[in-house]
Every structure is written in structure tokens, then in C-alpha cells.
Amino acid sequence: MTIRRVKKWIRIFPAISLVMILAWLPCPSHADSIFDRINDGEPIRLGFAHEIPWAYPGDNQNPLGFVNAITLGILESMGYTDIEPVVTEWGGLIPGLKANRFDIITGGMYITKSRCENVNFSEPIGVFGECFIVPKGNPKDLHSYQDIKERNAILVSGAGYTTIENAKKEDVPEGNLMVVPGNTEILAAVKSGRADAGGLTYFSALHLSRESGDAVEATDPRKNPEWTFNWVGIGFRKTDTEFMKAFNEALKDYVGSEKMLKAVEQYGYTEAQLPGDIATSWVCENR
């Protein structure tokens, strides 16, 4: 062997050695942290708040509500039944997901452009409107964001709720908006007269009106602009793309099925709330 060939082999050998070493190093079959947890025998952590009838805890934090029922049904169809519920406040759902305190967020979260910048959403599981709770008889005749602005009324809503964002889009002044932690505080503010109306999704408004003993009533969501109707998805970390892809495949067969509609019937979800053929990518751009 010539000196030139020996020098060439010396230059090549380290590269070959590195490739051989890397080939022997263990590597995960999936980059997704959800798959990592499953492979390590750990449960999938389901994050949600106390939002009846969307998603809320029962005994021992048992995940109840129609969004949890749909999510659990999809996961079960994928073969995953080891689930750990993690309950937090609504405003802590996205921060908690990004901080790895849970793996999936349910809760009944609208897909919006601002949220899509922080988390990935599954394909939609339903479409819903939003409205107000108002004192019985609706004394200030409040049905829309424009009514709030024109009548100089106070609108209360929850931290992280899209109703605050939508009110601002409709040019409701900051001084007419009140932000509280969640639904319990929204109801208390309206009942006490500190607020004239509470901004909520229609399902939540109906629940609060029943809980109030008819002290408040829900307005018609169709009085608000069409663009306030929105689609709900299940939230995932930006890194868990492979798991979400598999979740979406299972979702296609489950959402709208007889099994799903039976599971959510007790919560008031009907065929009228099925999402249709709208894709999450469109919703992220247009909501």
C-alpha cells in the first residue's frame, strides 16, 4: 500500500467508526413524547378544566363531558386505555401542555389562529356557537357584541375564552370587558349585577342557566355574527405530530359514528353539532 493510500484510509476511518458507533446506539422508534410515555408503560395524561358539559371531573377526577367522551373513544379505538386525568383551570391548559404537565388537552377548545400558533389541533370534533347569559327577562336586551357596545353594557367572560377576543374584534371597548377565572365566577358576576352579560359557548350558557335556578337565561347564538361559530379540536404539543396523525386517522371513523353519538347523547351533543368536512388547516387560517 502506498503512503498516499495509507493517508486516505486514515482520513476515512474516523468517519466509518462514527457511523458504526451511531448505528449501535439505541434510538426511540418515535420522536413523539406521547409515544415515548406509552413505550415506557406510562399513562397518557389528559388535561381538562371544569367546563360542564364539555369536559369536567367526576369522582376521582374521572373524565366526564362530551369532549372527553369523544377523546377517550378515539384513544380506545387506537388501543389506548391507560389514561391519567389532570384537572386544571381553563387558562392553564395551553401553558400546561407546553410545559409537559399533560399530553393532550380536551376541554372544548375552539380552534383559533392564535391558539394554532402555540399548539396543534386534531381535525374538528364539532361546531358550536357562543352567546350570553343575562338576567331573567334580559332587561337590557343584550343579544350580540354590538348590543354590548351600543348599550355601554359590561360583558364578563373567562380567562383564555374566545369571547373576550371576539368582543374586541367587534370593537367592544376594554372598559366594557371583565375577565374572571371561569364559569362559576361569570355566573356570580351576572347574578350580582357586577356584569350585565356573561360571554360563553351556548352549551355552557345552557348549563349555567339551569344551575342558576332560572335566575339567568341563555341568549340565541345566531344573534352574533356567523364568524363567531367555531370548530372544536383536541390539542397536542407541536412535537407530537406522529401521534396526532394516528389520532386523526382514528377520528375519521369515530366522529359521527353510532357509537360516538350514543356516548355523547347524555351531554346534549347531537348530529347538529357534527363538524362537517371543514379541515383544521382552514379553521386555523379563518378563525
Tell whether the model's pLDDT for residue 234 goes beyond 90: yes
Q: Give the Cα separation of 82 and 75 in Å (integer).
A: 9
Mean pLDDT, the chain, as a whole number? 89
CATH of domain 130-228: 3.40.190.10
The model's pTM? 0.76
CA distance 152 to 267: 35
pLDDT of 13: 43
Answer whether 251's CB lies under 8 Å from 232's CB.
no
Model pLDDT, residue 160: 86
Task: Note the pLDDT tens digit of each residue in 29-58.
Answer: 445 789 999 999 999 999 999 999 999 999
pLDDT of amino acid 272: 86
Q: Where is pLDDT greater, at 27 or 129? A: 129
Question: Who contacts 111 (Cβ-Cβ below 8 Å, separation ≥6)?
Answer: 121, 124, 230, 231, 232, 233, 280, 283, 284, 287
The architecture (CATH level 2) of 33-127+231-286 comes to 3-Layer(aba) Sandwich (3.40)
Domain ranges of the chain: 33-127+231-286, 130-228
pLDDT digits over 103-137, tens only?
A: 999 988 999 999 999 999 999 999 999 999 999 99
Are domains 33-127+231-286 and 130-228 of this chain identical in fold?
yes
Distance CA 73, CA 50 (A): 20
pLDDT of 146 strictly over 70? yes
CA distances from 191 to 117, 171, 210, 212 (A): 36, 25, 13, 9
Q: Which amino acid is at 233?
A: G
